[in-house]
Structure 1
Amino acid sequence: MSTPVMILAGGRATRMGGGDKPLLMLAGRPILAHVLDRLAPQVDGLALNANGDPDRFAGFGLPVRPDSRPGHPGPLAGILAALDWAQERGAASVVTVAGDTPFLPMDLVSGLLGARGPLGLAVAASMDAAHGLRDHPTCGLWPVALRDELAATLDRDERRVRAFARRHQPGTARWDNVPIDPFTNINTPADLALAEAHLAGR
């Protein structure tokens, strides 16, 4: 069984004025289309974590799974939805990525699998502007065996993805020396403009 990927799109995009960031247009196509271009060659199972009416994503042909916890508790709830979906598929683990990251590595899944820590967890990392290593725990490999503990963490109203990951000895998969940080996400109109400029230059 290959490792499936769930794209996390459950956020409310408050810094972009609300709505669905993955549906914003980038170089004439939705950001989500760019994300799928990167991921589809790597796996044979893709799904989307999103709340609300799933029909707005119907054109992408993906199963859409909402958070199982009310009140938009954040990306950790999306990771729980991913673990539930992976468990239903009989997979031992699942990769999650943010739905607003259009420059993901083309070797993301294999890189994470190769960097697994002792409990099977791995997170992505890249070099920041100060040449320090910055981790991106929303983009990670999560073993299904952690499902119950993650659910209990959310039930205690603990929502920080990084804190949960660090408790479980994650391995680190690094991507350096690339033209743009592959985990660049689109949080603001300025980020979108920079992504447009990068694609135009490339």
Structure 2
Amino acid sequence: MKQPLGVILAGGQATRMGGGDKCLLTLGGMPILKRVLDRLEPQTDGVILNANGDATRFADYNIAVVADSITGFAGPLSGVLAGLDHAAQLGHTHIITAAADTPFFPCDLTPQLLLAGETNGLALAASPSGRQPTFGLWPVALRDDLRAALDDGLRKVVMWTQKHNAGTAEFPDDAAFFNVNTPEDLQKAETML
């Protein structure tokens, strides 16, 4: 199998941060998005960004920006679908997703997800605190099924992935999936660096 296309999910509204793009906040002198890109790029065959609104705000990153095709902020699954549709156009069979506000995710995310998804090509990451539903391996072949589920109102990642018997890639450290949702989280991330 060709290496998956990387998809950074940044389509949320960042309400707990007061709006705006969490991934453009600076952490240790560098935007969080740059940290996520630097981690995901070596693990994938190219990376795109799922974000809504004016794409020019990401012009400095020289990255394709793909908006949700489902209107009304339908959650991370909508970003996954946008990534799957873009991957299909590029001839990829799978995507790997990572959250744009999670700068410390594992450097072996892709190989572990590929192992966990050997049976059916679908897998989610998990840590001791539970599943990490924005970190996953997703087969392009399931994009029409996902589109139908979203059109029917489904918004919960785990409800859809369980239906398709997703594998689980277990990671030992919750801190790897620490995400920056609030100003306090950003301060904590600075100390974690």
- Indicate the TM-score class for this superposition, using the shorter chain for normalisation: over 0.9
For residue 115 of structure 1, what is the aligned residue in structure 2? Answer: 116
Alignment of 1:54-133 (within 5 A): 54-116=55-117, 118-128=119-129
What is residue 15 of structure 2 aligned with on the other side? 14
- In structure 1, the residue matched to 2:4 is 3
- Structure 2 residues not aligned, in runs of 5+: none
Give the counterpart letter for 1:152 in structure 2: A
Equivalent position of 1:198 in the other structure: 192
**With structure 1 as the length reference, what TM-score do the two structures score?**
0.92
Task: Give 5+ residue unaligned stretches, structure 1.
Answer: 129-133
Look up the SS of the partner of 1:79 in the other structure.
helix
Q: In the alignment, does 2:161 pair up with 1:160?
A: no
2:44 aligned with 1:43, yes or no?
yes
Give the percent of matched residue pairs that are identical in Structure 1 and Structure 2.
53
User: Between Structure 1 and Structure 2, how many residues are aligned?
Assistant: 192
Q: Which amino acid aligns with 2:42?
A: P
- The residue matched to 1:182 in structure 2 has which SS? helix
Equivalent position SS for 2:176: coil
Q: Is the 8 A contact 1:10 1:51 kept in 2?
A: yes
- Find the counterpart in structure 2 of residue 142 from structure 1: 138
Question: Structure 2 CA distance, aligned partners of 1:117 and 1:2?
Answer: 14
Quote the Cα distance in structure 2 between the aligned partners of 1:44 and 1:61. Answer: 15
AA in 2 matched with 1:51:
N
User: What is the distance in 2 between the residues matched to 1:116 and 1:165?
Assistant: 12
Aligned counterparts of 1:136 and 1:159: Cα–Cα separation in 2: 15
Deviating beyond 6 angstroms after TM superposition, the runs of 4 or more aligned structure 1 residues are none
Quick one: distance in 1 between partners of 2:114 and 2:160? 19
Q: Which residue of 2 is the match for residue 53 of structure 1? A: 54
Q: CA deviation at 1:70?
A: 1.2
**Matches of 1:33 and 1:79, distance apart in 2:** 20
The SS at the match of 1:7 is strand
Equivalent of residue 170 in structure 1, options 154, 166, 169: 166
Q: Which amino acid aligns with 2:38?
A: D
Deviation at 1:189, TM superposition (A): 1.2
RMSD: 1.1
**Correspondence for 2:182:** 188
